[in-house]
Structure 1
Amino acid sequence: MSDVYAPRGLARILETAGAWLLALLWIAPLAYAVWTAFHPPEFSTRFELFAPLTLENFARAWEAAPFARYFLNTFVLVTVILACQLVLCTLAAFAFARYAFPGQTLVFALVLAQLMIMPDVLIVENYRTMGRIGILDSIPAIGLPYMASAFGIFLLRQTFKTVPRELDDAARVEGATPLQVLWRVYVPLGRPVYVAYGLVSVSYHWNNFLWPLIVTNSVEARPLTVGLQVFSSTDQGVDWSIICAATLLTAAPLLIGFLLFQRQFVQSFMRAGIK
Protein backbone atom coordinates (compact mmCIF):
# COMPACT_ATOMS: atom_id res chain seq x y z
CA MET A 1 0.00 0.00 0.00
CA SER A 2 2.85 2.37 0.76
CA ASP A 3 4.19 1.88 -2.76
CA VAL A 4 0.79 2.92 -4.18
CA TYR A 5 0.47 6.08 -2.12
CA ALA A 6 4.09 7.21 -2.57
CA PRO A 7 3.64 8.53 -6.15
CA ARG A 8 0.45 10.33 -5.06
CA GLY A 9 2.28 11.98 -2.19
CA LEU A 10 5.13 13.02 -4.47
CA ALA A 11 2.65 14.42 -7.00
CA ARG A 12 0.91 16.42 -4.27
CA ILE A 13 4.26 17.86 -3.13
CA LEU A 14 5.16 18.84 -6.70
CA GLU A 15 1.75 20.46 -7.22
CA THR A 16 2.10 22.45 -4.00
CA ALA A 17 5.62 23.55 -4.90
CA GLY A 18 4.47 24.60 -8.37
CA ALA A 19 1.56 26.57 -6.91
CA TRP A 20 3.89 28.39 -4.51
CA LEU A 21 6.29 29.16 -7.36
CA LEU A 22 3.52 30.63 -9.50
CA ALA A 23 2.24 32.63 -6.52
CA LEU A 24 5.70 34.08 -5.92
CA LEU A 25 6.10 34.96 -9.60
CA TRP A 26 2.73 36.73 -9.51
CA ILE A 27 3.23 38.58 -6.24
CA ALA A 28 6.84 39.69 -6.84
CA PRO A 29 5.98 42.58 -9.24
CA LEU A 30 3.15 43.70 -6.96
CA ALA A 31 5.43 43.63 -3.92
CA TYR A 32 8.03 45.68 -5.80
CA ALA A 33 5.38 48.22 -6.86
CA VAL A 34 4.13 48.60 -3.28
CA TRP A 35 7.68 48.94 -1.92
CA THR A 36 8.70 51.51 -4.52
CA ALA A 37 5.50 53.55 -4.24
CA PHE A 38 5.78 53.99 -0.47
CA HIS A 39 9.50 54.81 -0.33
CA PRO A 40 11.69 57.66 -1.64
CA PRO A 41 13.03 57.30 -5.19
CA GLU A 42 16.52 56.31 -4.05
CA PHE A 43 15.08 53.06 -2.61
CA SER A 44 13.51 51.93 -5.89
CA THR A 45 16.56 49.81 -6.72
CA ARG A 46 17.70 48.74 -3.26
CA PHE A 47 16.08 47.25 -0.18
CA GLU A 48 16.60 48.44 3.40
CA LEU A 49 14.58 47.05 6.28
CA PHE A 50 14.12 50.40 8.01
CA ALA A 51 13.79 52.61 4.93
CA PRO A 52 11.60 55.68 5.54
CA LEU A 53 7.99 55.55 4.38
CA THR A 54 6.46 58.37 2.38
CA LEU A 55 3.26 59.33 0.52
CA GLU A 56 5.03 61.93 -1.58
CA ASN A 57 5.12 59.67 -4.62
CA PHE A 58 1.32 59.53 -4.69
CA ALA A 59 1.09 63.31 -4.41
CA ARG A 60 3.60 63.74 -7.24
CA ALA A 61 1.74 61.25 -9.41
CA TRP A 62 -1.59 62.98 -8.78
CA GLU A 63 -0.13 66.37 -9.70
CA ALA A 64 1.79 65.12 -12.76
CA ALA A 65 -1.36 64.09 -14.61
CA PRO A 66 -5.07 65.01 -14.48
CA PHE A 67 -5.98 61.92 -12.50
CA ALA A 68 -9.34 63.32 -11.41
CA ARG A 69 -10.39 63.59 -15.07
CA TYR A 70 -8.98 60.14 -15.87
CA PHE A 71 -10.87 58.58 -12.96
CA LEU A 72 -14.10 60.30 -14.00
CA ASN A 73 -13.72 59.16 -17.62
CA THR A 74 -12.97 55.59 -16.56
CA PHE A 75 -15.82 55.46 -14.08
CA VAL A 76 -18.33 56.77 -16.61
CA LEU A 77 -16.99 54.42 -19.28
CA VAL A 78 -17.16 51.20 -17.27
CA THR A 79 -20.52 52.13 -15.74
CA VAL A 80 -22.21 52.85 -19.06
CA ILE A 81 -20.73 49.75 -20.71
CA LEU A 82 -21.79 47.51 -17.83
CA ALA A 83 -25.32 48.95 -17.73
CA CYS A 84 -25.81 48.41 -21.46
CA GLN A 85 -24.30 44.92 -21.32
CA LEU A 86 -26.53 43.85 -18.44
CA VAL A 87 -29.69 45.01 -20.20
CA LEU A 88 -28.85 43.59 -23.64
CA CYS A 89 -27.30 40.36 -22.38
CA THR A 90 -30.21 39.71 -20.00
CA LEU A 91 -32.80 40.09 -22.76
CA ALA A 92 -30.81 37.96 -25.22
CA ALA A 93 -30.04 35.25 -22.64
CA PHE A 94 -33.70 35.07 -21.58
CA ALA A 95 -34.77 34.64 -25.19
CA PHE A 96 -32.22 31.88 -25.82
CA ALA A 97 -33.05 30.09 -22.57
CA ARG A 98 -36.85 30.15 -22.61
CA TYR A 99 -38.11 30.77 -26.16
CA ALA A 100 -37.96 28.65 -29.29
CA PHE A 101 -37.75 30.54 -32.58
CA PRO A 102 -36.64 29.70 -36.12
CA GLY A 103 -32.88 29.70 -36.47
CA GLN A 104 -32.26 29.74 -32.71
CA THR A 105 -29.42 27.24 -32.87
CA LEU A 106 -27.71 29.10 -35.71
CA VAL A 107 -28.03 32.48 -34.03
CA PHE A 108 -26.66 31.15 -30.74
CA ALA A 109 -23.78 29.51 -32.62
CA LEU A 110 -22.96 32.90 -34.14
CA VAL A 111 -22.97 34.41 -30.65
CA LEU A 112 -20.56 31.74 -29.44
CA ALA A 113 -18.38 32.27 -32.50
CA GLN A 114 -17.76 35.82 -31.33
CA LEU A 115 -15.99 34.39 -28.29
CA MET A 116 -13.33 33.04 -30.63
CA ILE A 117 -12.61 36.41 -32.27
CA MET A 118 -9.93 38.53 -30.64
CA PRO A 119 -11.10 42.14 -30.14
CA ASP A 120 -7.82 43.40 -31.64
CA VAL A 121 -8.80 41.89 -35.00
CA LEU A 122 -11.70 44.36 -35.25
CA ILE A 123 -9.77 47.49 -34.33
CA VAL A 124 -9.35 48.83 -37.88
CA GLU A 125 -12.99 48.32 -38.85
CA ASN A 126 -14.24 49.67 -35.52
CA TYR A 127 -12.07 52.77 -35.97
CA ARG A 128 -13.52 53.34 -39.43
CA THR A 129 -17.03 52.95 -38.06
CA MET A 130 -16.42 55.44 -35.25
CA GLY A 131 -15.04 57.88 -37.82
CA ARG A 132 -18.02 57.49 -40.13
CA ILE A 133 -20.50 58.28 -37.37
CA GLY A 134 -18.35 61.17 -36.14
CA ILE A 135 -17.62 60.22 -32.52
CA LEU A 136 -13.84 59.74 -32.57
CA ASP A 137 -11.95 61.03 -29.53
CA SER A 138 -14.88 60.58 -27.15
CA ILE A 139 -15.99 58.24 -24.39
CA PRO A 140 -18.86 56.82 -26.54
CA ALA A 141 -16.28 55.85 -29.17
CA ILE A 142 -14.43 53.76 -26.57
CA GLY A 143 -17.52 52.02 -25.25
CA LEU A 144 -19.75 51.54 -28.29
CA PRO A 145 -18.03 48.37 -29.66
CA TYR A 146 -18.46 46.70 -26.25
CA MET A 147 -22.10 47.51 -25.46
CA ALA A 148 -23.06 43.85 -25.96
CA SER A 149 -21.10 40.77 -24.87
CA ALA A 150 -21.22 37.23 -26.23
CA PHE A 151 -19.65 35.99 -23.00
CA GLY A 152 -22.36 37.71 -20.94
CA ILE A 153 -25.11 36.20 -23.08
CA PHE A 154 -23.64 32.72 -22.72
CA LEU A 155 -23.09 33.04 -18.97
CA LEU A 156 -26.62 34.32 -18.26
CA ARG A 157 -28.21 31.78 -20.60
CA GLN A 158 -26.55 28.96 -18.68
CA THR A 159 -27.90 30.44 -15.46
CA PHE A 160 -31.45 31.02 -16.74
CA LYS A 161 -31.69 27.45 -18.05
CA THR A 162 -31.29 26.16 -14.48
CA VAL A 163 -34.40 28.06 -13.31
CA PRO A 164 -37.39 25.64 -13.02
CA ARG A 165 -40.12 26.31 -15.57
CA GLU A 166 -42.70 25.92 -12.79
CA LEU A 167 -41.69 29.37 -11.56
CA ASP A 168 -42.51 30.77 -15.00
CA ASP A 169 -45.91 29.12 -14.98
CA ALA A 170 -46.69 30.32 -11.46
CA ALA A 171 -45.78 33.90 -12.35
CA ARG A 172 -47.85 33.82 -15.56
CA VAL A 173 -50.87 32.45 -13.67
CA GLU A 174 -50.62 35.50 -11.43
CA GLY A 175 -50.84 37.67 -14.56
CA ALA A 176 -47.15 38.59 -14.95
CA THR A 177 -45.93 39.63 -18.39
CA PRO A 178 -42.75 38.06 -19.86
CA LEU A 179 -40.71 41.10 -18.81
CA GLN A 180 -42.14 40.95 -15.30
CA VAL A 181 -41.25 37.25 -15.12
CA LEU A 182 -37.73 38.10 -16.18
CA TRP A 183 -37.38 40.95 -13.69
CA ARG A 184 -39.04 39.30 -10.69
CA VAL A 185 -37.97 35.67 -11.14
CA TYR A 186 -34.85 35.30 -13.27
CA VAL A 187 -32.87 38.42 -12.37
CA PRO A 188 -33.03 37.86 -8.57
CA LEU A 189 -32.04 34.21 -8.94
CA GLY A 190 -29.09 35.21 -11.13
CA ARG A 191 -27.77 37.89 -8.80
CA PRO A 192 -24.46 36.13 -7.97
CA VAL A 193 -23.81 35.68 -11.69
CA TYR A 194 -24.47 39.36 -12.30
CA VAL A 195 -21.94 40.23 -9.59
CA ALA A 196 -19.31 37.97 -11.14
CA TYR A 197 -19.92 39.20 -14.66
CA GLY A 198 -19.87 42.80 -13.43
CA LEU A 199 -16.42 42.26 -11.93
CA VAL A 200 -15.17 40.69 -15.16
CA SER A 201 -16.58 43.48 -17.32
CA VAL A 202 -15.40 46.31 -15.09
CA SER A 203 -11.88 44.86 -14.71
CA TYR A 204 -11.52 44.31 -18.47
CA HIS A 205 -12.64 47.78 -19.48
CA TRP A 206 -10.85 49.43 -16.56
CA ASN A 207 -7.58 47.89 -17.81
CA ASN A 208 -8.25 48.13 -21.54
CA PHE A 209 -5.44 50.09 -23.20
CA LEU A 210 -5.01 49.54 -26.92
CA TRP A 211 -8.46 50.55 -28.19
CA PRO A 212 -8.75 53.71 -26.01
CA LEU A 213 -5.21 54.68 -27.05
CA ILE A 214 -6.11 54.42 -30.75
CA VAL A 215 -9.51 56.07 -30.66
CA THR A 216 -8.71 59.05 -28.35
CA ASN A 217 -6.34 62.00 -28.67
CA SER A 218 -7.31 64.41 -25.88
CA VAL A 219 -7.17 64.34 -22.10
CA GLU A 220 -10.92 64.97 -21.94
CA ALA A 221 -11.69 61.53 -23.37
CA ARG A 222 -8.81 59.34 -22.17
CA PRO A 223 -9.17 56.76 -19.37
CA LEU A 224 -6.67 55.89 -16.66
CA THR A 225 -4.73 53.25 -18.57
CA VAL A 226 -3.90 55.64 -21.41
CA GLY A 227 -3.11 58.41 -18.94
CA LEU A 228 -0.42 56.24 -17.33
CA GLN A 229 1.76 56.52 -20.43
CA VAL A 230 2.48 60.13 -19.41
CA PHE A 231 4.87 58.81 -16.75
CA SER A 232 6.90 56.71 -19.19
CA SER A 233 7.50 59.50 -21.72
CA THR A 234 9.28 62.14 -19.67
CA ASP A 235 12.53 63.80 -20.75
CA GLN A 236 14.10 63.17 -17.33
CA GLY A 237 13.94 59.40 -17.76
CA VAL A 238 11.84 56.80 -16.01
CA ASP A 239 10.96 57.53 -12.38
CA TRP A 240 9.88 54.16 -11.05
CA SER A 241 8.63 55.53 -7.74
CA ILE A 242 6.05 57.78 -9.40
CA ILE A 243 5.14 55.11 -11.97
CA CYS A 244 4.47 52.56 -9.23
CA ALA A 245 2.43 55.09 -7.25
CA ALA A 246 0.34 55.92 -10.31
CA THR A 247 -0.13 52.21 -11.05
CA LEU A 248 -1.36 51.52 -7.52
CA LEU A 249 -3.77 54.46 -7.77
CA THR A 250 -5.14 52.96 -10.95
CA ALA A 251 -5.39 49.37 -9.70
CA ALA A 252 -6.66 50.10 -6.17
CA PRO A 253 -10.41 50.23 -7.03
CA LEU A 254 -10.23 46.86 -8.79
CA LEU A 255 -8.32 45.22 -5.94
CA ILE A 256 -10.80 46.52 -3.39
CA GLY A 257 -13.75 45.37 -5.49
CA PHE A 258 -12.37 41.88 -5.90
CA LEU A 259 -11.61 41.53 -2.19
CA LEU A 260 -15.17 42.58 -1.35
CA PHE A 261 -16.89 40.23 -3.84
CA GLN A 262 -14.43 37.36 -4.23
CA ARG A 263 -16.78 34.76 -2.70
CA GLN A 264 -19.65 35.70 -5.02
CA PHE A 265 -17.19 35.75 -7.91
CA VAL A 266 -16.08 32.15 -7.36
CA GLN A 267 -19.52 30.77 -6.46
CA SER A 268 -21.24 32.24 -9.49
CA PHE A 269 -18.82 30.66 -11.97
CA MET A 270 -19.18 27.32 -10.18
CA ARG A 271 -22.97 27.53 -10.53
CA ALA A 272 -22.68 28.32 -14.21
CA GLY A 273 -20.46 25.30 -14.82
CA ILE A 274 -17.51 27.38 -16.06
CA LYS A 275 -13.96 26.59 -14.92
Structure 2
Amino acid sequence: MSRFDRYLWNAGAGLLALLWILPLLYAVWTAFHPAAYEADFTLTAPLTLENFGKAWQAAPFGRYFLNTFILVTGITAAQFVLCTLAAYGFARFRFPGRNILFSLVLLQLMVMPDILIVENYKIIRAFHLVDTLFAVALPYIASGFGVFLIRQTFMTVPRELDDAARIEGAGPLLTLWRVYVPLAKPTYLAYGLVSVSYHWNNFLWPLIVTNSVETRPVTVGLSVFATTDSGVEWSVINAATLMTSAPLLIAFLLFQRQFVQSFMRAGIK
Protein backbone atom coordinates (compact mmCIF):
# COMPACT_ATOMS: atom_id res chain seq x y z
CA MET A 1 0.00 0.00 0.00
CA SER A 2 1.43 3.35 -1.05
CA ARG A 3 1.67 6.39 1.16
CA PHE A 4 -1.19 8.06 -0.74
CA ASP A 5 -3.41 5.02 -0.16
CA ARG A 6 -2.64 5.11 3.55
CA TYR A 7 -3.51 8.80 3.70
CA LEU A 8 -6.74 8.08 1.86
CA TRP A 9 -7.72 5.28 4.23
CA ASN A 10 -6.84 7.41 7.26
CA ALA A 11 -8.90 10.30 5.92
CA GLY A 12 -11.86 8.01 5.37
CA ALA A 13 -11.53 6.53 8.86
CA GLY A 14 -11.27 10.03 10.33
CA LEU A 15 -14.41 11.12 8.50
CA LEU A 16 -16.36 8.13 9.78
CA ALA A 17 -15.09 8.76 13.31
CA LEU A 18 -16.17 12.40 13.04
CA LEU A 19 -19.65 11.42 11.86
CA TRP A 20 -19.94 9.05 14.83
CA ILE A 21 -18.60 11.36 17.51
CA LEU A 22 -20.48 14.56 16.59
CA PRO A 23 -23.89 13.31 17.84
CA LEU A 24 -22.19 12.07 21.01
CA LEU A 25 -20.54 15.44 21.60
CA TYR A 26 -23.87 17.19 21.08
CA ALA A 27 -25.55 14.83 23.56
CA VAL A 28 -22.83 15.53 26.13
CA TRP A 29 -23.14 19.30 25.57
CA THR A 30 -26.91 19.42 25.99
CA ALA A 31 -26.88 17.03 28.96
CA PHE A 32 -24.45 19.16 30.98
CA HIS A 33 -25.90 22.58 30.08
CA PRO A 34 -29.26 24.29 30.66
CA ALA A 35 -31.93 23.94 28.00
CA ALA A 36 -31.34 27.53 26.84
CA TYR A 37 -27.89 26.50 25.56
CA GLU A 38 -29.00 23.54 23.41
CA ALA A 39 -27.95 25.40 20.24
CA ASP A 40 -25.72 28.04 21.84
CA PHE A 41 -22.20 26.60 21.97
CA THR A 42 -20.72 29.36 24.10
CA LEU A 43 -17.59 28.43 26.00
CA THR A 44 -18.82 30.42 29.01
CA ALA A 45 -22.10 28.46 29.19
CA PRO A 46 -22.78 27.31 32.76
CA LEU A 47 -22.44 23.62 33.59
CA THR A 48 -25.25 21.84 35.43
CA LEU A 49 -26.28 18.38 36.59
CA GLU A 50 -29.93 19.35 36.81
CA ASN A 51 -30.80 17.50 33.61
CA PHE A 52 -29.61 14.21 35.09
CA GLY A 53 -31.72 14.82 38.19
CA LYS A 54 -34.81 15.49 36.08
CA ALA A 55 -34.18 12.39 34.00
CA TRP A 56 -33.72 10.21 37.09
CA GLN A 57 -36.96 11.50 38.62
CA ALA A 58 -38.97 11.21 35.40
CA ALA A 59 -38.70 7.40 35.39
CA PRO A 60 -37.75 4.68 37.92
CA PHE A 61 -34.27 4.26 36.50
CA GLY A 62 -33.09 2.44 39.60
CA ARG A 63 -35.48 -0.42 38.88
CA TYR A 64 -34.74 -0.30 35.16
CA PHE A 65 -31.00 -0.59 35.75
CA LEU A 66 -31.52 -3.47 38.17
CA ASN A 67 -33.67 -5.34 35.64
CA THR A 68 -31.12 -4.74 32.91
CA PHE A 69 -28.25 -5.92 35.12
CA ILE A 70 -30.12 -9.12 36.01
CA LEU A 71 -30.97 -9.79 32.37
CA VAL A 72 -27.50 -9.08 31.01
CA THR A 73 -25.62 -11.11 33.63
CA GLY A 74 -28.08 -13.99 33.52
CA ILE A 75 -28.12 -14.25 29.73
CA THR A 76 -24.35 -13.93 29.42
CA ALA A 77 -23.72 -16.56 32.11
CA ALA A 78 -26.14 -19.00 30.48
CA GLN A 79 -24.58 -18.40 27.07
CA PHE A 80 -21.09 -19.00 28.44
CA VAL A 81 -22.10 -22.38 29.85
CA LEU A 82 -24.18 -23.64 26.92
CA CYS A 83 -21.93 -22.25 24.18
CA THR A 84 -18.82 -23.65 25.87
CA LEU A 85 -20.25 -27.16 26.08
CA ALA A 86 -21.51 -27.06 22.49
CA ALA A 87 -18.27 -25.59 21.15
CA TYR A 88 -16.18 -28.20 22.98
CA GLY A 89 -18.30 -30.98 21.51
CA PHE A 90 -18.01 -29.65 17.96
CA ALA A 91 -14.28 -28.96 18.28
CA ARG A 92 -13.01 -32.13 19.91
CA PHE A 93 -15.53 -34.97 19.54
CA ARG A 94 -16.49 -36.97 16.47
CA PHE A 95 -20.07 -38.21 16.34
CA PRO A 96 -22.62 -38.96 13.60
CA GLY A 97 -24.20 -35.83 12.17
CA ARG A 98 -21.64 -33.44 13.67
CA ASN A 99 -21.14 -31.47 10.46
CA ILE A 100 -24.87 -31.29 9.81
CA LEU A 101 -25.57 -30.01 13.31
CA PHE A 102 -22.82 -27.42 13.06
CA SER A 103 -24.19 -26.32 9.69
CA LEU A 104 -27.54 -25.73 11.40
CA VAL A 105 -25.76 -23.59 14.00
CA LEU A 106 -24.22 -21.53 11.21
CA LEU A 107 -27.60 -21.32 9.49
CA GLN A 108 -29.05 -19.81 12.65
CA LEU A 109 -26.62 -16.90 12.25
CA MET A 110 -28.37 -15.98 9.01
CA VAL A 111 -31.80 -15.68 10.63
CA MET A 112 -32.67 -12.26 12.03
CA PRO A 113 -34.04 -12.53 15.60
CA ASP A 114 -36.92 -10.18 14.72
CA ILE A 115 -38.29 -12.76 12.28
CA LEU A 116 -38.99 -15.13 15.18
CA ILE A 117 -40.72 -12.59 17.42
CA VAL A 118 -44.27 -13.79 16.69
CA GLU A 119 -43.50 -17.48 17.24
CA ASN A 120 -41.42 -16.73 20.35
CA TYR A 121 -44.26 -14.67 21.78
CA LYS A 122 -46.73 -17.52 21.19
CA ILE A 123 -44.46 -19.86 23.13
CA ILE A 124 -43.98 -17.38 25.96
CA ARG A 125 -47.73 -16.79 26.20
CA ALA A 126 -48.47 -20.53 26.13
CA PHE A 127 -46.25 -21.01 29.19
CA HIS A 128 -47.77 -17.93 30.93
CA LEU A 129 -44.41 -16.16 31.12
CA VAL A 130 -45.46 -12.80 29.68
CA ASP A 131 -44.25 -9.80 31.71
CA THR A 132 -41.41 -11.66 33.41
CA LEU A 133 -37.66 -11.25 33.20
CA PHE A 134 -37.37 -14.90 32.22
CA ALA A 135 -39.53 -14.21 29.15
CA VAL A 136 -37.08 -11.51 28.03
CA ALA A 137 -34.08 -13.79 28.50
CA LEU A 138 -35.43 -17.13 27.24
CA PRO A 139 -34.89 -16.68 23.47
CA TYR A 140 -31.26 -15.67 24.03
CA ILE A 141 -29.88 -18.18 26.54
CA ALA A 142 -28.07 -19.94 23.67
CA SER A 143 -26.20 -18.30 20.81
CA GLY A 144 -25.04 -19.69 17.49
CA PHE A 145 -22.47 -16.93 17.22
CA GLY A 146 -21.09 -17.82 20.63
CA VAL A 147 -20.80 -21.50 19.68
CA PHE A 148 -19.01 -20.60 16.45
CA LEU A 149 -16.60 -18.12 18.05
CA ILE A 150 -15.61 -20.35 20.98
CA ARG A 151 -15.32 -23.40 18.72
CA GLN A 152 -12.87 -21.52 16.51
CA THR A 153 -10.72 -20.84 19.55
CA PHE A 154 -10.93 -24.40 20.90
CA MET A 155 -9.78 -25.79 17.54
CA THR A 156 -6.50 -23.88 17.88
CA VAL A 157 -5.65 -25.71 21.13
CA PRO A 158 -3.06 -28.47 20.46
CA ARG A 159 -4.42 -31.98 20.93
CA GLU A 160 -1.27 -32.87 22.86
CA LEU A 161 -2.76 -30.96 25.79
CA ASP A 162 -5.76 -33.32 25.72
CA ASP A 163 -3.42 -36.30 25.84
CA ALA A 164 -1.44 -34.81 28.72
CA ALA A 165 -4.64 -34.12 30.68
CA ARG A 166 -5.89 -37.65 29.99
CA ILE A 167 -2.61 -39.12 31.26
CA GLU A 168 -3.06 -37.12 34.46
CA GLY A 169 -6.47 -38.71 34.91
CA ALA A 170 -8.64 -35.79 33.84
CA GLY A 171 -11.95 -36.51 32.18
CA PRO A 172 -13.49 -34.48 29.33
CA LEU A 173 -15.21 -31.94 31.59
CA LEU A 174 -12.13 -31.43 33.77
CA THR A 175 -10.00 -31.03 30.64
CA LEU A 176 -12.44 -28.45 29.35
CA TRP A 177 -12.35 -26.52 32.62
CA ARG A 178 -8.61 -26.74 33.29
CA VAL A 179 -7.20 -26.54 29.75
CA TYR A 180 -9.60 -25.06 27.20
CA VAL A 181 -11.43 -22.41 29.19
CA PRO A 182 -8.26 -20.69 30.52
CA LEU A 183 -6.76 -20.57 27.02
CA ALA A 184 -9.96 -19.00 25.65
CA LYS A 185 -10.24 -16.14 28.15
CA PRO A 186 -9.69 -13.39 25.52
CA THR A 187 -12.46 -14.91 23.41
CA TYR A 188 -14.81 -15.02 26.38
CA LEU A 189 -14.04 -11.38 27.07
CA ALA A 190 -14.77 -10.36 23.48
CA TYR A 191 -17.94 -12.40 23.27
CA GLY A 192 -19.04 -11.13 26.67
CA LEU A 193 -18.74 -7.53 25.46
CA VAL A 194 -20.74 -8.34 22.32
CA SER A 195 -23.44 -10.14 24.30
CA VAL A 196 -23.70 -7.48 27.01
CA SER A 197 -23.84 -4.71 24.42
CA TYR A 198 -26.59 -6.43 22.43
CA HIS A 199 -28.80 -7.28 25.36
CA TRP A 200 -28.21 -3.94 27.09
CA ASN A 201 -29.48 -2.18 23.95
CA ASN A 202 -32.19 -4.70 23.01
CA PHE A 203 -35.50 -2.89 22.72
CA LEU A 204 -38.16 -4.55 20.55
CA TRP A 205 -38.46 -7.94 22.25
CA PRO A 206 -38.50 -6.54 25.83
CA LEU A 207 -41.07 -3.97 24.72
CA ILE A 208 -43.36 -6.74 23.45
CA VAL A 209 -43.18 -9.14 26.41
CA THR A 210 -43.09 -6.66 29.32
CA ASN A 211 -45.93 -4.54 30.63
CA SER A 212 -44.81 -3.27 34.04
CA VAL A 213 -41.98 -1.32 35.64
CA GLU A 214 -40.93 -4.43 37.57
CA THR A 215 -39.82 -6.20 34.38
CA ARG A 216 -38.83 -3.46 31.94
CA PRO A 217 -35.14 -2.95 31.11
CA VAL A 218 -33.56 0.47 30.79
CA THR A 219 -33.99 0.73 26.99
CA VAL A 220 -37.76 0.33 27.26
CA GLY A 221 -37.83 2.70 30.22
CA LEU A 222 -36.00 5.31 28.16
CA SER A 223 -38.92 5.39 25.72
CA VAL A 224 -41.09 7.23 28.27
CA PHE A 225 -39.30 10.44 27.28
CA ALA A 226 -40.68 10.10 23.76
CA THR A 227 -44.29 9.98 25.01
CA THR A 228 -44.25 12.87 27.46
CA ASP A 229 -47.00 15.53 27.21
CA SER A 230 -44.80 18.38 28.41
CA GLY A 231 -42.93 18.70 25.11
CA VAL A 232 -39.52 17.47 24.05
CA GLU A 233 -36.69 18.46 26.39
CA TRP A 234 -33.57 17.46 24.52
CA SER A 235 -31.32 18.26 27.45
CA VAL A 236 -33.21 15.79 29.68
CA ILE A 237 -33.48 13.19 26.92
CA ASN A 238 -29.75 13.33 26.23
CA ALA A 239 -28.97 13.14 29.94
CA ALA A 240 -31.06 9.97 30.19
CA THR A 241 -29.39 8.59 27.06
CA LEU A 242 -25.93 9.18 28.51
CA MET A 243 -26.91 7.43 31.73
CA THR A 244 -28.02 4.34 29.82
CA SER A 245 -25.08 4.22 27.39
CA ALA A 246 -22.25 5.23 29.75
CA PRO A 247 -21.64 1.69 31.17
CA LEU A 248 -21.16 0.25 27.67
CA LEU A 249 -18.87 3.06 26.54
CA ILE A 250 -16.71 2.70 29.64
CA ALA A 251 -16.53 -1.10 29.26
CA PHE A 252 -15.46 -0.87 25.63
CA LEU A 253 -12.83 1.79 26.33
CA LEU A 254 -11.38 -0.36 29.10
CA PHE A 255 -11.29 -3.61 27.11
CA GLN A 256 -11.01 -2.49 23.47
CA ARG A 257 -7.52 -3.96 22.99
CA GLN A 258 -8.52 -7.37 24.32
CA PHE A 259 -11.72 -7.14 22.28
CA VAL A 260 -9.87 -6.72 18.97
CA GLN A 261 -7.09 -9.20 19.78
CA SER A 262 -9.52 -11.96 20.71
CA PHE A 263 -11.29 -11.77 17.36
CA MET A 264 -7.95 -11.85 15.56
CA ARG A 265 -6.92 -14.97 17.47
CA ALA A 266 -10.20 -16.62 16.61
CA GLY A 267 -9.47 -16.20 12.90
CA ILE A 268 -12.20 -13.60 12.28
CA LYS A 269 -11.03 -10.55 10.36
Q: TM-score, normalised by structure 2?
A: 0.98
Q: 1:105-254 counterparts in 2 under 5 A?
A: 105-254=99-248
Give the distance between the partners of 2:124 and 2:246, measured in 1 at CA.
Answer: 31
Where does residue 261 of structure 2 map in the other structure?
A: 267
Give the distance between the partners of 2:6 and 2:105, measured in 1 at CA.
Answer: 40
The answer as to 2:86 corresponding to 1:89 is: no
Number of aligned residue pairs: give it: 269
The answer as to 2:25 corresponding to 1:43 is: no
Please report the RMSD computed on the Cα atoms of aligned residues, expressed in angstroms: 1.0
Q: Deviations along 1:232-268, whole A, 9 cap, x unmatched?
A: 1111111000000000000111111111111111110
Give the distance between the partners of 2:14 and 2:74, measured in 1 at CA.
Answer: 39
Moved more, 147-156 or 253-262: 253-262
Give the distance between the partners of 1:128 and 1:101, measured in 2 at CA.
Answer: 34
Q: Deviations along 1:68-99, whole A, 9 cap, x unmatched?
A: 00000000000000010000000000000000
Identity among equivalent positions (%) equals 71
Give 2:250's aligned amino acid.
Answer: I
Shift of 1:15: 1.8
Q: Deviations along 1:172-194, whole A, 9 cap, x unmatched?
A: 11111110000000000000100
Give 2:25's aligned amino acid.
Answer: A
1:67 aligned to which of 61, 64, 67: 61
Give 1:75's aligned amino acid.
Answer: F
SS at match of 1:221: coil
Give 1:176's aligned amino acid.
Answer: A
Give the distance between the partners of 2:7 and 2:84, measured in 1 at CA.
Answer: 44
Change (3 A) 1:134 1:87: same
Shift of 1:9: 3.6
Gaps in structure 2 of 5+ consecutive residues: none
Give 1:180's aligned amino acid.
Answer: L
Give the distance between the partners of 2:131 and 2:122, measured in 1 at CA.
Answer: 13
Give 1:125's aligned amino acid.
Answer: E
Give the distance between the partners of 2:144 and 2:79, measured in 1 at CA.
Answer: 10
SS at match of 2:41: coil
Shift of 1:14: 2.3
Give the distance between the partners of 1:189 and 1:234, measured in 2 at CA.
Answer: 50
Shift of 1:43: 1.0
Shift of 1:10: 3.2
Shift of 1:46: 2.2
Q: TM-score, normalised by structure 1?
A: 0.96
Give 1:107's aligned amino acid.
Answer: L
Gaps in structure 1 of 5+ consecutive residues: none
Shift of 1:40: 0.4
Q: Deviations along 1:185-231, whole A, 9 cap, x unmatched?
A: 00000001000000000000000001111111111100000000111
Shift of 1:60: 0.8
Give the distance between the partners of 1:268 and 1:240, measured in 2 at CA.
Answer: 38
